[in-house]
Amino acid sequence: MVIFDTNAILRYILQDNQAMAESVEEQLSSEVCLIPVEVVAEIVYVLSKVYSVERKIIAKVIMNISDIDTITIAQMDVVRYALKIYSSSSLDIVDCMLIGYAKVKQYTVFSFDRKLQKYLKE
């Protein structure tokens, strides 16, 4: 199994460096690949803050990537829930992931963040 970093996935999504994008595609066709939760969070951050991509589009792009047969996104159930919250709120992706862990995995999240606490109580 190969673990992809943020830069590799961004080159694949953005297609802004053809050689790198093709290299990612070759890897995807030859082996099962993992995208860790941390990389998903960084992808969301970069697409949002650097490329000004809308939240709903970011969520859709990541969900489309998860549909590729050779890609596994770690904690996909949590990521899916987090992206749903992210696309319809102003929370950052890390807070959305924490909500996902609370709602999907039934973990208790300890936080002083009132906005996050509000979502955790819903």
Per residue in 38-80, pLDDT tens? 999 999 999 999 999 999 999 999 999 999 999 999 999 999 9
Q: In angstroms, rounded to a whole number, what is the distance separating the alpha carbons of residues 107 and 122?
A: 14
Answer whether residue 122 shows pLDDT above 90: no
Structure confidence at residue 20 (pLDDT): 97
Domains of the chain: 2-121 (3.40.50)
Burial degree of 106 (CB within 10 A; 0-12, 13-18, 19+):
exposed
Structure confidence at residue 8 (pLDDT): 97
Structure confidence at residue 3 (pLDDT): 97
Q: pTM of this prediction?
A: 0.93
Return the bridge partners of 33, or none: 2, 71
